[in-house]
């Protein structure tokens, strides 16, 4: 139990408990003939899916219980995110088992060529659900990358038109870009509140909100954000989760690295239970998902290609943009220390750790690197390391 669980905004409860209502909503949509697209990565633009009249739900797995199912098909030594995602898909609806989750409701998976584990697993996923893989240039800097990605997005637009039977118009795309930008701006507002000396929301709660970003419908998520911001803005700094004293010695932490899909809150929980205060997440379950807006004044497909190819993922090379971003966030959110969070066998983020550590060292910001999986076997050991880190920062 963290101190912040006392910050009971009604909307937080709604967001955290929204899963079964969303399943019913998806089932209703399917009955009405709407197509449901499953995605596993930020590089797949929602705007194109929505402009085609389909809905979207994320399939990234964060639960440990699906890992052993996947290990019947996949090697043990690949990252838990992929194993959990694949295990959940195989276990839900596509193997004769009746679906009881969103994993069994999608008509098509739109995947992406990022890390090796993902792209090879997508080849197997195609046996369970139609899977389309979007190709990405791996060197994102420069006009050639944007041109290539634009061609890929145009092909993807055609796939969505074929799936739904609807034409994707320029007007519809522009409308969806404006709508997605509204969500991004709301998230900026919410994150701005976390720059306060006493943020109105805990890191753990914020991560749970971000885990629902691509589970809930875009409109429901946006509406929930508006209400949450209203509630948070009305919260007086000295009335948050008790007295000011409670926060006096809480080191401000940025968590940076691999995504933390629904079910994988082990490390943030340890950090906040052991005295830290997470004020920002440099993560796909954080700033990477909303930091940059899409240019509303350009040809919409070009604007989408330009914005999405810039996502600073470690699958790209070089990825200096991510390092710059980490330093910028550390300054903006006045962090005392960074927890570099990586999943086992995620080579991209694990190798990039060296550059992250060097950059933070040069900036005089302490960093603790934690490499883990979705099991509880290392909770105590991580706890001891976090204790020592907090003590050093206090």
Which CB atom, from 117 or from 180, has the smaller least distance to ligand BJ8? 117
- Minimum separation from the CB atom of position 50 to ligand BJ8 (A): 19
Q: Which of 15, 58, 79, 168 binds ligand BJ8 (CB under 6 A)?
A: 79
CA distance 314 to 320: 9
Q: Which of 23, 74, 82, 390 binds ligand BJ8 (CB under 6 A)?
A: 82
Instruction: Give exposure, 306-317, as e/b (b: 16+ Cβ within 10 Å).
Output: bbbbbbbbbbbe
CA distance 137 to 308: 11
Which CB atom, from 41 or from 106, has the smaller least distance to ligand BJ8? 41
- Minimum separation from the CB atom of position 234 to ligand BJ8 (A): 33
Q: Which of 43, 221, 308, 333 binds ligand BJ8 (CB under 6 A)?
A: 43
Which CB atom, from 133 or from 228, has the smaller least distance to ligand BJ8? 133
Which CB atom, from 40 or from 168, has the smaller least distance to ligand BJ8? 40
CA distance 262 to 260: 7
Residues 6 or more apart whose Cβ sits within 8 Å of residue 21 = none
**Which 273-292 residues touch ligand BJ8, going by CB under 6 A?**
284
- Minimum separation from the CB atom of position 84 to ligand BJ8 (A): 10
Six-digit token string for 314: 């470690």
Which CB atom, from 336 or from 373, has the smaller least distance to ligand BJ8? 373
Establish if 258 lies at the interface with ligand BJ8 (CB under 6 A): yes
Establish if 343 lies at the interface with ligand BJ8 (CB under 6 A): yes
Matching residue, tokens 């596993």: 40
Establish if 42 lies at the interface with ligand BJ8 (CB under 6 A): yes
Establish if 111 lies at the interface with ligand BJ8 (CB under 6 A): no
Q: Which stretch binds ligand BJ8 (CB under 6 A): 110-118, 179-187, 213-221, 356-364?
A: 110-118
Helix (H, G, I), strand (E, B) or coil at 101: coil
Establish if 115 lies at the interface with ligand BJ8 (CB under 6 A): yes
- Minimum separation from the CB atom of position 233 to ligand BJ8 (A): 29
Establish if 349 lies at the interface with ligand BJ8 (CB under 6 A): yes
CA distance 107 to 99: 13
- Minimum separation from the CB atom of position 119 to ligand BJ8 (A): 9
Burial (Cβ within 10 Å: 0-12, 13-18, ≥19) of residue 354: exposed
Which CB atom, from 13 or from 123, has the smaller least distance to ligand BJ8? 123
CA distance 19 to 102: 9
Q: Which stretch binds ligand BJ8 (CB under 6 A): 7-15, 20-28, 77-85, 216-224?
A: 77-85
Establish if 346 lies at the interface with ligand BJ8 (CB under 6 A): yes
Establish if 118 lies at the interface with ligand BJ8 (CB under 6 A): yes
CA distance 187 to 291: 9
- Where does the chain have alpha helices with state H? 10-16, 19-31, 46-51, 67-70, 80-91, 116-125, 143-164, 170-193, 203-211, 218-233, 266-273, 300-308, 320-332, 347-362, 379-393
Residues 6 or more apart whose Cβ sits within 8 Å of residue 313 = 42, 43, 114, 284, 288, 319, 322, 348
Q: Which stretch binds ligand BJ8 (CB under 6 A): 132-140, 190-198, 307-315, 360-368?
A: 307-315
Q: What is the DSSP string of 306-347?
A: HHHTT---TTSSS-HHHHHHHHHHHHHTT-SEEEEEEETT-H
Establish if 348 lies at the interface with ligand BJ8 (CB under 6 A): yes
**Which 124-163 residues touch ligand BJ8, going by CB under 6 A?**
none
- CA dist 157 → 36, 55, 322 (Å): 15, 14, 28
- Cis ω for the linkage preceding 318 (within 30 of 0): yes
Q: Which of 12, 23, 26, 41 binds ligand BJ8 (CB under 6 A)?
A: 41
The residue ranges that bind ligand BJ8 (CB under 6 A) are 41-43, 79, 81-82, 114-115, 117-118, 258-259, 284, 311, 313, 315, 343, 346, 348-349
């Amino acid at each position: 139990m963290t101190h912040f669980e006392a910050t009971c905004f009604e909307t937080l409860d709604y967001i955290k408990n929204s899963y079964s209502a969303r399943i019913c909503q998806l089932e209703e949509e399917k009955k009405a003939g709407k197509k449901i697209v499953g995605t596993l990565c930020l590089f797949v633009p929602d705007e194109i899916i929505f402009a085609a009249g389909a809905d979207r739900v994320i399939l990234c797995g964060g639960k440990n219980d699906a890992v052993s199912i996947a290990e019947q098909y996949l090697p043990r030594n690949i990252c838990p995110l992929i194993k959990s995602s694949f295990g959940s898909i195989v276990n839900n609806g596509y193997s004769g088992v009746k679906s009881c989750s969103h994993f069994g409701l999608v008509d098509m998976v739109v995947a992406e060529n990022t890390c090796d584990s993902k792209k090879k697993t997508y080849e197997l996923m195609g046996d369970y659900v139609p899977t389309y893989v979007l190709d990405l240039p791996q060197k994102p800097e420069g006009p050639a990358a944007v041109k290539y990605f634009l061609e890929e997005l145009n092909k993807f637009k055609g796939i969505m038109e074929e799936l739904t039977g609807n034409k994707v118009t320029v007007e519809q795309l522009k409308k969806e870009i404006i709508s997605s930008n509204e969500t991004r701006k709301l998230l900026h507002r919410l994150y701005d509140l976390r720059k306060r000396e006493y943020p109105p929301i805990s890191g753990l709660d914020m991560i749970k909100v971000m885990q629902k970003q691509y589970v809930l419908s875009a409109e429901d998520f946006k509406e929930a954000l508006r209400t949450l911001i209203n509630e948070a803005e009305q919260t007086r700094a000295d009335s948050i989760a008790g007295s000011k004293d409670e926060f006096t010695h809480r080191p401000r932490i940025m968590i940076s690295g691999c995504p933390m899909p629904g079910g994988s809150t082990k490390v943030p929980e340890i950090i906040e239970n052991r005295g830290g205060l997470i004020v920002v997440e440099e993560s796909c379950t954080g700033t990477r998902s909303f930091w940059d807006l899409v240019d509303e004044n350009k040809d919409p497909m070009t604007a989408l290609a330009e914005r999405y190819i810039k996502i600073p993922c470690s699958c790209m090379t070089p990825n200096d943009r991510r390092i710059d971003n980490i330093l910028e966030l550390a300054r903006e959110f006045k962090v005392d220390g960074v927890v570099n969070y990586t999943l086992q066998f995620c080579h991209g983020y694990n190798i990039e750790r060296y550059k992250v550590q060097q950059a933070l060292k040069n900036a005089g910001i302490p960093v603790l690197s934690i490499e883990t999986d979705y099991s509880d076997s290392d909770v105590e050991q991580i706890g001891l390391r976090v204790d020592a880190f907090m003590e050093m920062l206090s």
